[in-house]
Amino acid sequence: MSRQYTLHAARSTSIHIDYAAELNGQQLAAVTAQPGPQLIIAGAGSGKTRTLTYRVAYLLENGIDPRNILLLTFTNKAARQMLDRVANLLPIDASGLWGGTFHSVGNRMLRRHGSALGYNSGFTIMDREDQKDLINTVVASAGIDPKEIRFPKGDVLAEIFSFVVNTETALEELLAEKFPYFLPLLEKITDVHGRYEKKKKATNSVDFDDLLEKTLSMLQKHENIASFYRRQFQFILVDEYQDTNKIQADLIDLLAREHRNIMVVGDDAQSIYSWRGANFQNILEFPKRYPDAKVFKIEMNYRSVPEILEVANAAIAANVDQFQKNLQPTRESAAAKPAVVALNDGSEQAQFIAQRILELRDEDVDLNEIAVLYRAHYHALELQLELSRRGIPYQITSGVRFFEQAHIKDVISFIRFVANPRDEVAFKRMVKLLPGIGNRSAENLWNAWDKSLNERGEITSFSERLLAMSVNAKSKKHWTQLAQTLDEIAPGGQPNPPSEMITSVVEAIYDDYAKVNFTNYELRREDLNQLAAFARQFKDVNEFLSQLALISNVDAEAAPNQTADKEAVNLSTVHQAKGLEFHTVFVIWLTDGMFPSSRSIDTREALEEERRLFYVAITRAKDELYLTYPHMRLTGGYGDVFQRPSRFLREIPNKLVEDWQVQRG
């Protein structure tokens, strides 16, 4: 006969931390909550990380062995920072605590038990470049020649397979939703996916998504392994829970199934990553999955002045799917309310922001403490030009500068070439976009082109010369298309207006190229449409190209100084700015179709995510907030278009903001 014997955790004989003194009442309630499922709704600037850190310390002080705690974060840096803070709070060795990202924890489990799935502990984790190369190898082995058909490149296939894993969506359903132009290739893509899975197994390799998918599969199929980890992780804490995807939520639920001591911390109002697989329903339905869960709200905001918080609370109020909360200020009132500023067009908007930035600098606001936030990268196009003209240093938090992006430079290469047929760099960049033309072919083609220039002088027809050149059979069709397109954009050798050229190049050649080469095709197409619109202000191709060069050269000249004094205005998409804060924030292009984006207006779910994005933008501001919108917008082919102010602006009561009337001096 066996006997059950329970080991009880040793209780700490002395409490080292005065939690009531260190935390506000809302934080204290969450930190000292009894075991069981808990959902902490932590508003923007409310001390979410502090709450989570003190919860870990509280568990350790109350005798919980560090080895029985699992802390899941979205970056390893965040986990290290929290554990460092815990170490500073308590004289306890917490080195046994498992803390890190979902992927790092999955890696540890697979290294220990991956043999259950047929992997040995020395498996290779492929990075995206390795993954792309392996997929391209598999595509070749499947008898698919990407030079003959426009088949998605390795990068794009990797993105498709990643979505399938993280959203637990069938491949056909995913293609229909996100990549409809690849649906005719469903059978071939399915075959490649199967071959890719077999190839990974054969080479004892996993990709980044496998660290989640294979770990969950292992725990679902092998109860002995799942039981081992359920016994080990008696307390599970999850940061940024609103950003988890379906597979991450399933993994957490499986590990917490028996003890149910799970604390998830997040802010449903800052759930803005559905486009990369995050599932908003995870945080919204947590109380349904755990009916006995206690919900704590932390609403005391330490970041922003009351006037900004009032606007933030009003901005999110219209959302139906949310946990109701109301950010409460801890700071004193400011001298001015947030400003709503109407401008004539994008150019005037840029001038206003540049001038106001210089005024703020004169008021001793550091440029680093100023941010301009926007919904999409191309919204900052006119602003980058204006800041460059005025010598105001800036840095792009959301990636490379607009005119330095690959797809922008690709399309510009056509324009550079017809403006200057001796531009070797532009010629080679342009022809390498065609299937079957690599570096060597491009060099041979350039030599042939250069020879024709020297022999025949002035160009009256690009196609006449290009079609006389020798290209390989696989490239012949696309070479003919290139020749015809160059004649279309520069009839008789004379370039059309820049905007018309951009539209022609995109429609004739580049759109097909972008679909198979870029995972974010739709965003890049938006960039190119806006580039065509921007170019409408230039009738002369050389003036247009000179302005682009001006931006690049001014930025290059400013870079050494910028590095020296570390002072620059921050330009960023709202997505990239999440988690950051600034003295002054400008939110620009607040018009319907721009922010919210035109793609999000059709469904309530999409529109509510856009409203959450607007809320995130507002809550980045500590002291001053400017909400700007132009009345008119240039488009590539339809002239000036009248813009309606964003519906989000109309939802904010007039009494909460100050209307600025901008006049020309």
Task: Return the bridge partners of 70, or none.
Answer: 98, 236
Cβ(510)–Cβ(465) below 8 Å = no
The CA-atom distances, in angstroms, between 267 and each of 45, 167, 278, 414, 579 are 11, 20, 13, 46, 12
Q: What is the token pair recorded at 103? A: 């992927």
Q: What is the token pair recorded at 171? A: 């491949």
Peptide bond into 596 cis (omega under 30): yes
Query: Residue 518 in 3-state DSSP?
Result: coil
Closest CA to 415 of 551, 541, 549: 541
Residue 540 φ/ψ region, left for φ over 0, alpha for ψ in the -120 to 50 degree band, beta for the rest:
beta
- Decide if 178 is catalytic: no
- Decide if 647 is catalytic: no
Query: Residue 165 in 3-state DSSP?
Result: helix
- Decide if 443 is catalytic: no
State which H helix or E strand residue 99 sits in: strand 98-101
- Decide if 49 is catalytic: yes
Cβ(438)–Cβ(446) below 8 Å = no
Q: Spot the catalytic one: 155, 207, 240, 348.
A: 240
Q: Spot the catalytic one: 50, 428, 620, 622.
A: 620
Where would I find the beta strands (DSSP E) of 251-392?
262-266, 294-298, 300-301, 328-329, 339-343, 370-374
**Backbone angles phi and psi of 264, in degrees to 5:** -110, 135
Task: Return the bridge partners of 625, or none.
Answer: 585
- Decide if 240 is catalytic: yes
Q: Spot the catalytic one: 101, 270, 349, 351.
A: 270
Q: Spot the catalytic one: 239, 307, 386, 624.
A: 239
Q: Spot the catalytic one: 26, 38, 49, 547.
A: 49
**DSSP, residue by residue, 487-504:** HHHSGGGPPPPHHHHHHH
Task: Return the bridge partners of 236, or none.
Answer: 70, 262
Task: Report d(CA 141, CA 158) in Å as an integer.
Answer: 17
State which H helix or E strand residue 629 sits in: strand 621-630
Q: How does DSSP classify residue 73?
A: E
Q: Spot the catalytic one: 38, 48, 159, 619.
A: 48
Query: Residue 411 in 3-state DSSP?
Result: helix
Task: Report d(CA 485, CA 463) in Å as an integer.
Answer: 8
Give the residue numbers annotated as catalytic, written as ranges: 48-49, 239-240, 270, 620
